[in-house]
């Protein structure tokens, strides 16, 4: 493995049904290298294998075939599982299932307490994590009274307090309103940019993937596209064949090109798209 890869999977295969006659692969030969410090988004239709892949990245599931390495540690090695879970934190869809305490700061302290960290250090980490997700002023609040986006940021703080090198988020915004979604996406971009934490973001909202360093598309347990979001989305017909939409900007340029224009499909941001169209008329 290259020393800058925090996660490596080699020909990873997994199926849920042990009856061989019914066996369908949920993961069918996934080979993936994730660079430390990168922001990787994963898109795919229902049942394409995204959650199954996510659960392999911190040894919740173990490979049936192939290998998963986290910071060089083989996830199939039982002795390494706790250390792998410390390095890769998971955030799930429903924040209510992830919050355990009656006060925000106690909730964030829960993970580091389980790691056996001493109280003064826990105090420091909890404050730091809550500040990083913008929830410090809510530290004495009851989690159940927070908005969905706030709850999810507290859940993220609980992971951050364990000082992971990577966070894997499996549809963290699926249950949130647009404001909550924006808060969570901004928070994870900040953590990636300012703290260097590697992010793997699984989502159904393609708009959440446009600012990623890399976009992976899954279909039937395989990786079918992998590149910069602007490159991947420019393959409009292929993306649609996977049952996915492309961003509005790409769609607009695609439709204009059908009418005879020759605009760059890679102009993904609203700004780039507007510039490209403006250039034609000036
Ligand atoms: N616990 C399970 N038992 C049996 N089959 C499962 C289980 N979990 C997932 N599967 C199957 O494995 C395949 C991949 O599922 P997975 O949950 O990884 O997909 P996904 O891309 O996360 O889907 P979604 O977008 O709906 O969350 C699907 O065919 C699914 O039906
Ligand atoms: Mg899923």
pLDDT in tens, the chain (282 residues): 445 899 999 999 999 976 666 668 999 999 999 999 999 999 999 999 999 999 999 999 999 999 999 999 999 999 999 999 999 999 999 989 889 999 999 999 999 999 899 999 999 999 999 999 999 999 999 999 999 999 999 999 999 999 999 999 999 999 889 999 999 999 999 999 999 999 999 998 888 999 999 999 999 999 999 999 999 999 999 999 999 999 999 999 999 999 999 999 999 999 999 999 999 887
Asked whether 44 lines ligand 1 (CB < 6 A), one says yes
Q: What is the pLDDT of residue 24?
A: 83
Judge residue 212's burial from the number of C-beta atoms within 10 Å of its C-beta, 0-12 exposed, 13-18 middle, 19 or more buried. buried
What is the C-alpha to C-alpha distance for residues 98 and 134, in angstroms, rounded to an integer? 18
Cα-Cα-Cα-Cα torsion 131, 95, 56, 190, nearest 10 degrees, comes to: -30
Q: Which ligand places an atom closest to the C-alpha of 42?
A: 1
Q: What is the pLDDT of residue 282?
A: 79
Report how far ligand 2's centroid is from the alpha carbon of 206 (Å): 15
Distance of CA 150 to CAs 95, 130, 170, Å? 9, 11, 17
Asked whether 52 lines ligand 1 (CB < 6 A), one says yes
Which residue's CA is the nearest one to ligand 1's atom 4?
16
Please identify which residue in the block is written with the tokens 């049936």: 64
* Ligand 1 pocket test, candidate residues 13, 50, 170, most atoms within 8 A of CB: 50
> Which of left, alpha, beta for 219 (phi over 0: left; psi -120 to 50: alpha)?
beta
Predicted TM-score of the model (pTM): 0.94
Listed residue (94, 42, 92) closest to 244, CA to CA: 42
Q: Which atom of ligand 1 is nearest to the CA of 17?
A: 4
* Ligand 1 pocket test, candidate residues 22, 47, 242, most atoms within 8 A of CB: 47
What is the C-alpha to C-alpha distance for residues 266 and 97, in angstroms, rounded to an integer? 39
| Maximum Cα interatomic distance, the chain, rounded to a whole number of Å | 66
Report how far ligand 1's centroid is from the alpha carbon of 151 (Å): 25
Angle at 57 between CA 228 and CA 130, to 5 degrees: 85
What is the C-alpha to C-alpha distance for residues 32 and 225, in angstroms, rounded to an integer? 12
Return phi, psi of residue 16, to 5°: -85, -30
Q: Mapping DSSP to helix (H, G, I), strand (E, B) and coil, where does residue 273 land?
A: helix
Which residue's CA is the nearest one to ligand 1's atom 31?
47
Q: What is the pLDDT of residue 23?
A: 67
Six-digit token pair at 164?
């992971």
Q: Which atom of ligand 1 is nearest to the CA of 55?
A: 18
Q: What is the pLDDT of residue 22?
A: 64
Asked whether 203 lines ligand 1 (CB < 6 A), one says no
Q: What is the pLDDT of residue 1?
A: 43
Answer whether 236's CB lies under 8 Å from 249's CB: no
């Amino acid at each position: 493995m290259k020393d800058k890869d925090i996660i490596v999977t080699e020909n990873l295969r997994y199926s849920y049904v042990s009856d061989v006659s019914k066996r369908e692969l949920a993961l069918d030969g996934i080979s993936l290298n994730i660079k430390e410090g990168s922001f990787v988004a994963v898109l795919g239709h229902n049942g394409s294998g995204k959650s199954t892949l996510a659960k392999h990245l911190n040894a919740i599931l173990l490979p049936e075939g192939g290998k998963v390495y986290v910071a060089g540690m083989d996830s199939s090695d039982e002795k390494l599982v706790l250390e792998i879970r410390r390095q890769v934190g998971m955030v799930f869809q429903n924040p209510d299932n992830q919050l355990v305490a009656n006060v925000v700061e106690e909730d964030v302290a829960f993970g580091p307490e389980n790691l056996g960290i001493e109280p003064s250090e826990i105090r420091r980490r909890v404050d730091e994590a809550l500040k990083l997700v913008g929830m410090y002023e809510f530290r004495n609040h009851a989690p159940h009274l927070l908005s969905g986006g706030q709850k999810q940021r507290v859940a993220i703080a609980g992971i951050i307090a364990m000082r992971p090198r990577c966070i894997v988020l499996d549809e963290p915004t699926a249950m949130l309103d647009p404001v909550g979604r924006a808060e969570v996406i901004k928070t994870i971009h900040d953590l990636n940019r300012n703290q260097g934490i590697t992010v793997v973001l699984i989502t159904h909202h393609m708009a959440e993937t446009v600012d990623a360093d890399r976009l992976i598309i899954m279909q039937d347990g395989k990786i079918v596209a992998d590149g910069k979001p602007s490159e991947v989305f420019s393959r409009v017909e292929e993306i649609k064949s996977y049952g996915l939409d492309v961003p509005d900007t790409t769609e607009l340029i695609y439709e204009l090109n059908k009418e005879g224009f020759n605009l760059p499909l890679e102009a993904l941001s609203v700004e780039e798209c507007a510039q490209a169209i403006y250039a034609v008329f000036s």
